Amino acid sequence: MKITGSRKIHYESGPDMTPLVDVVMVLLIFLMMVGKFGGQNRYLVSDMPITSSGPAQAPVDPSQVPKQDITINVTSPTPDQFRAFYGRTVNATTQDDLSTQLAALLKEKTAAGTPLDDIQVFIKPTRNVKYTNIVRVYTAVLQAGYTKVGFQTSEG
């Protein structure tokens, strides 16, 4: 008796890749139809007319005080304490003391002619300052009457 089955070439050995290729092609076609190519959305849309010269600038008043930023550096000698300082003007270790000193600084700046909208306070904590101390400083700044408050990261 002759056994011929073992000598035949088996074409069905291995997985059938046809359904996988079909699914990938359908997904590719779908993504090409749905997606947008970013050529038109690169630039911000503006309603300003295009001119060869720039827009007219209002003359600068020399008596006008420029916008002023106050950066309050916050350190933490111990985990439960903080020290906030801004130059020689503000140097505080408690929330109430900081709020009082910042209110006095705000009064000085507004008396000099600086509008409240032109004063921005930045809180800049070091790495070892706990979140609760940052919240205390932030609350003191708000209690002092400042409306624009931001945060900065320390170097290093």
Say how far apart CA 82 and CA 121 lie, in whole Å: 18
Query: Considering the chain, what is the average pLDDT of its residues?
Result: 80
Enclosing domain of residue 103: 71-151
User: Residue 40: inside a domain, yes or no?
Assistant: no
| Total count of residues recorded for the chain | 156
User: Residue 114: inside a domain, yes or no?
Assistant: yes
User: Residue 56: inside a domain, yes or no?
Assistant: no
User: Residue 36: inside a domain, yes or no?
Assistant: no
pLDDT, position 27: 95
- Residue 85's nearest CA partner among 28, 126, 51, 49 is 126
Lowest mean pLDDT segment, chosen from 3-17, 63-77, 79-93: 3-17
Considering the chain, what percentage of its residues have pLDDT values greater than 70?
71
Say how far apart CA 87 and CA 91 lie, in whole Å: 8
CA 4 to chain centre: 74
* Cβ atoms within 10 Å of 143's Cβ, excluding its own: 15
User: Residue 88: inside a domain, yes or no?
Assistant: yes
User: Residue 23: inside a domain, yes or no?
Assistant: no
Q: Can you state the angle between helices 95-111 and 131-144, rounded to 10 degrees?
A: 40
**24, pLDDT greater than 90:** yes
Which whole number is the average pLDDT over 51-74?
A: 67
Residue with tokens 């069905």: 12
Ramachandran region of residue 94, left (φ > 0), alpha (ψ -120 to 50) or beta? beta
**Structural domains counted in the chain:** 1
**What are the C-alpha distances in Å from 147 to residues 55, 107, 122, 133?**
30, 14, 11, 20
User: Residue 24: inside a domain, yes or no?
Assistant: no
Number of alpha carbons in the 13 Å side-chain half-sphere of residue 34: 6
Which whole number is the average pLDDT over 31-57?
A: 65
User: Residue 14: inside a domain, yes or no?
Assistant: no
Largest Cα separation within the chain, whole Å, is 115
Tell me the three state secondary structure of residue 44. Answer: coil
CATH number at residue 135: 3.30.420.270
pLDDT, position 118: 85
